[in-house]
Amino acid sequence: MRQFFGYISIFVLYVAISLLVSAESRLDSVYAQWRTLSTDSLFSRGISYYEKHQDDSALICFSICGNRPVSAMSTREKSMVVKSLTMSARLYFRFFDYGKAYEQLAQAMAICGDKDMGDCMTGVYMEQGALLMTYAHQKPKEENFSRAEQAYRNAFWSALKYEQWPSLQTAFFNLGNHLYGAKRLAEMRRELDAFASAPIPADVPRRQYIRCFHRGLCHVLDGDMSKARQVFRQQLMQVPDDEYSNIYQFEAYTALVKSFAFVGQLDSAIHYELIMRQLAIETHMKDGEAITARDLADFYGQLGDTATAHQYADAALRSKDSLLAVNNLDQVSALNFVSQLIKQEARIRQQERLSHWLTVGLVVLVMVAASVVAMWLLVWRRRHQATADNRPQTASSPMPKYQASGLDEDNKQQLKLKIQQVLQGNDAVYDQAFCLNQLAELCQSNPKYISQVINELYGCNFATLVSKLRVEEACRRMADKENYGNLSLEGIAYSVGFKSRVTMYQAFKKIMGMTPTDYQKSL
């Protein structure tokens, strides 16, 4: 009986998997249609999707184009492949897959190693700088910032060499903004001098805006903050009138604020920072809201206004939580490539109908398979229960790596009880520095025995066990509005021992099956 149901289950699941593979092969035919396009056509289609903000379809086009072999291509076609890889990196960066983005850039650099492809390196360096600078802000180490700065420098000199004026301006602006904020402008004197003599045509977009920024940095480097502020105000008057005007205006105000903050004129710095904050709120710049709240908290703290500083510090945390929630939603929507592709291609309506019936058939087959498996398990359980009393009871054999351990079953159970008492009655587990050695010390045992008991009796390792306890405590604190209602999600993450909000989001999603934001909503 048991074998009969087992064979039926295997057969049904085999049919279901076969149909699923068939459905996937039909979807692959859609990709095959795009693969038949020429490199130029495919790249143009990708740019069209990108400009329409259809990032998923754009990424498919750029991925197909970027993965084509370049050995027999002309220089022009190779440049299309490099640009496709660069655009793919930009989109993966937007989707928060930094590893994949860096992989695309490395592939583009390898192609640009050809002697006739040097002018393509500017765009690669630009994307590399943006990626590395974002990573450096998340992992603020000196070597990370140095790598990002070098990428922007490479982009600047490459753009100057090949007279790529828009890229030259962007690379200069990004490098200047960073070093100005870090009070290290003296390190880019060569770039300042080279930019001053660059023959940028008058019709290049943002020329006057960037020129004002350049002159302002030169005055800052000379120590003349009064002239620097005058030029930064002129920069505000040169903000381009396009879809990114709010960002350019925000950056111009940022330069002005720094000119006051660096010399201790905090009242004036706060005045313009408040203007920036209002601009960020009105234009829905979530990252701008977080930046201005953080800066205002710092300025008011220096003035000794603790209450206002705490108010803006809390606002900064809320803005970060909100930005993270938006990013998570963006990540989810970015994964829906195939369904978006089907909707956008009117030529595959017949395949859509077939996919519908295949889906219905798969659901039915899976339900049948589940029923068969359930029946088989029921029969097996009854037979198992009928013979359970006649089976000799044996102790569970130890895990292979612990066979030489000196712990017997009684000692394991006693040590498990100690571990439970420590973890449930000691807040040390919510300390970021809490480790296996500390737990062993509290249990008056050694780390090897503690690790063995956790692996054998809890069915997980030490890190997973601690993450579960911290997630449970985070859930309790989110529900306790009276005592913890003033904390943001980031604050709660730190309070229970997570080193960052990202670490808590990952553990929370794995253990609870939802994000902390979704859990709060469910409360």
Single-letter amino acid code for the residue at 92? Y
Query: Which DSSP helix (H) or strand (E) runs through 154?
Result: helix 142-161
What mean pLDDT is reported for the chain?
81
- CA 22 to each of CA 27, 66, 359, 429: distance values in angstroms, whole numbers, following the listed order: 9, 27, 11, 50
- The pLDDT assigned to 61 comes to 86
- The pLDDT assigned to 339 comes to 39
The DSSP symbol for 458 reads: I
Per-residue pLDDT reduced to its tens digit, 320-374: 666 554 444 444 444 444 334 334 434 434 544 555 566 666 666 777 777 777 7
Q: What values do phi and psi take at 38, rounded to 5? A: -70, 160
More confident residue, 477 or 186: 186
Mean pLDDT confidence for 482-511: 82
Mean pLDDT confidence for 159-167: 94
Helices within 436-515 (DSSP H only): 436-442, 447-453, 462-479, 481-484, 489-495, 501-512
The owner of tokens 């979704």 is: 518
More confident residue, 372 or 452: 452
- The pLDDT assigned to 6 comes to 52
Mutual angle of helices 462-479 and 501-512, in 10-degree steps: 100
pLDDT tops 60 at residue 496: yes
- The pLDDT assigned to 322 comes to 61
- The pLDDT assigned to 387 comes to 54
Answer yes or no: are the C-beta atoms of 454 and 420 closer than 8 Å. no
More confident residue, 383 or 24: 383
Per-residue pLDDT reduced to its tens digit, 189-235: 999 999 999 999 999 999 999 999 999 999 999 999 999 999 999 99
**How many CB atoms are closer than 10 A to CB 166?**
15
Report the alpha-carbon distance of residue 520 to residue 33 in Å, rounded: 45
Report the alpha-carbon distance of residue 192 to residue 215 in Å, rounded: 9
Per-residue pLDDT reduced to its tens digit, 436-449: 888 888 888 888 88
- The pLDDT assigned to 389 comes to 44
Report the predicted TM-score, pTM, of the whole model to 2 decimal places.
0.58
Answer yes or no: are the C-beta atoms of 512 and 519 closer than 8 Å. yes
The owner of tokens 């590893």 is: 99
Which range has the top average pLDDT, 94-103, 142-151, 394-403?
A: 142-151
- Strand, helix or coil at 400? helix
Single-letter amino acid code for the residue at 194? A
Burial class, 49, CB count within 10 angstroms (exposed 0-12 / middle 13-18 / buried 19+): buried
Per-residue pLDDT reduced to its tens digit, 172-185: 999 999 999 999 99
Instruction: At 348, list the tokens.
Output: 């595959």
The DSSP symbol for 457 reads: I
- The pLDDT assigned to 208 comes to 95
Answer yes or no: are the C-beta atoms of 505 and 332 closer than 8 Å. no
Report the alpha-carbon distance of residue 285 to residue 293 in Å, rounded: 12
- The pLDDT assigned to 296 comes to 94
pLDDT tops 70 at residue 12: no
Q: CA nearest 54: which of 329, 341, 326? A: 341
pLDDT tops 70 at residue 15: no
- CA 495 to each of CA 58, 321, 352, 505: distance values in angstroms, whole numbers, following the listed order: 41, 15, 50, 14
Report the alpha-carbon distance of residue 172 to residue 169 in Å, rounded: 5
- The pLDDT assigned to 165 comes to 95
- Strand, helix or coil at 37? coil
- The pLDDT assigned to 346 comes to 40
Mean pLDDT confidence for 243-263: 91
Confidence class for position 67, pLDDT limits 50, 70, 90 = confident
The DSSP symbol for 69 reads: -
pLDDT tops 90 at residue 244: no
Answer yes or no: are the C-beta atoms of 149 and 175 closer than 8 Å. yes
